[in-house]
Amino acid sequence: MKLSNESIRNKINRGQLSFIGFDQKRLHKRLERTQNIIGRPERRTLNFALAAKNSQCLHSEDGARLDYTGRIIIPSGSLIPDDTKTTLFRKAYAYSPERISTDTELEIHEPVVFGGAMIHHFGHFLTDTLSRLWILRELPPEIRIVFLTHAGQTLDFFLKRAWIRDTLSAFGINHERIILVDRPTIFRNIIVPQPAIEHAFRIYSAYTTSYECCRAI
């Protein structure tokens, strides 16, 4: 049975809604400890970076794992020594191989942007996949974006979902601008923007770029 919007309104009120996995007290605590920062995050440009299929991060010339800002991280999984916060981004990198082979099948010389992980979970798509796209306002409209995936999904797997397709389109991103890493690849000029939002940790005002694009859909 398909419910109309009116019937849904009649059957459900706000008091019956809740955040799955979060009680109100826990939710408020997470919001209270999230830093709100005016401005945009850092960006780095790497002249050499390796990417491999099913890895969640970039790697250096000798195959060592890099953190999300393009710095080498230590084998224990401590991604930023002076920062003890744990976020989904840091967990994703800690789960990636500590070192990968430097043998590659593809070399890309054109300037590209590191977009991080392409995720098909709706919430994490909004907070993780879109978190680096603030940088696109500062770059030429034709620059391509590099995305990684952890389970061997193809680009068609993501773009067959209308909400992913429409959201990326709002950023001016079509399939021709996406590089989804599916083989060992060298990037000779890759811009690595720091995420503008990190779950239960911090959010930069630059993330409003993502919010504005989503509102336009």
Higher pLDDT among residues 135 and 212, named by residue? 135
In the predicted model, what is the mean pLDDT of residues 185-203? 87
6 found inside a domain? no
Which of 3-7, 121-125, 207-211 is least confident? Answer: 3-7
User: Is the pLDDT score of 106 beyond 90?
Assistant: yes
Query: What whole-number distance in Å separates Cα of residue 196 and Cα of residue 138?
Result: 14
> Among 1-15, 178-192, 199-213, where is mean pLDDT lowest?
1-15
32 is a domain residue: no
Task: Report yes or no on 62 lying in a domain.
Answer: yes
- Please report the pLDDT score of residue 57 as a whole number: 85
Per the structure, the complete domain to which residue 155 belongs is given by: 41-215
Residue 22 lies inside a defined structural domain of this protein: no
Tell me if 211 is assigned to some domain. yes
Please report the pLDDT score of residue 81 as a whole number: 41
Q: Are 72 and 60 in contact (CB under 8 A)?
A: yes
The verdict on residue 109 lying in a domain is: yes
Contact 83, 93 (CB under 8 A): no
Please indicate, yes or no, if residue 30 is contained in any of the structural domains.
no
Tell me whether residue 69 is in a domain.
yes
Separation of alpha carbons 206 and 70, rounded Å: 20
Tokens 């408020």 map to which residue?
28
- pLDDT for position 172: 94
Residue 82, pLDDT > 90, answer no
Name the pTM for this structure.
0.78
Tokens standing for residue 45: 């440009």
Long-range pairs, 66-73, Cβ under 8 A, ≥24: 67/93, 68/93, 68/116, 68/192, 68/194, 68/195, 69/42, 69/44, 69/192, 69/194, 70/44, 70/46, 70/192
Q: Where are the beta strands (DSSP E) in 59-171?
A: 106-108, 112-117, 144-148
Q: Which helix (H) or strand (E) holds 35?
A: strand 35-37
Tens-place pLDDT, residues 148-159: 987 778 999 999
- The arithmetic mean of pLDDT across residues 16-22, rounded, is 55
Number of structural domains (the chain) is 1
102 close to 91: Cβ distance less than 8 angstroms: no
Distance from the first to the final alpha carbon of the chain? 28
